[in-house]
Amino acid sequence: MKVHERIRHYIDDNGLKMKYVAERSSIELKRFYRIINGDSTLSADEYEMICKGLNVEPENFFKSKFLVSKNKTA
């Protein structure tokens, strides 16, 4: 699962509104939606801003693997 998907799940699971998170993150709403929908690349600065807006530590979204390797010999 990609970072923007993890953030979106967190927002949905906690019953938050996208507009609320965008405002708290100081990211323009249209830009925020493009990031969350995966239509635009998430910069490190924006990631940090979103984590601050959500009041979570950045490592919160890195607790499990992103991709499962299909190459079992690696």
pLDDT of residue 39: 97
Q: Is residue 19 situated within a structural domain?
A: yes
Q: Is residue 11 situated within a structural domain?
A: yes
Q: Is residue 50 situated within a structural domain?
A: yes
SS (H, E, C) the chain: CCHHHHHHHHHHHCCCCHHHHHHHHCCCHHHHHHHHCCCCCCCHHHHHHHHHHHCCCHHHHHCCCCCCCCCCCC
Q: How far apart are CA 20 and CA 74, in angstroms?
A: 42
pLDDT of residue 73: 58
Question: pLDDT of 4-27, one tens digit each?
Answer: 999 999 999 999 999 999 999 999
Q: Is residue 69 situated within a structural domain?
A: no
Q: Is residue 21 situated within a structural domain?
A: yes
Q: Is residue 67 situated within a structural domain?
A: no
Q: For position 49, which CATH number holds?
A: 1.10.260.40
Q: Is residue 58 situated within a structural domain?
A: yes
Q: Is residue 40 situated within a structural domain?
A: yes
Residue 16 belongs to domain spanning? 3-62
pLDDT band per the 50, 70, 90 thresholds, residue 62: confident
Q: What is the value of pTM for the model shown?
A: 0.81
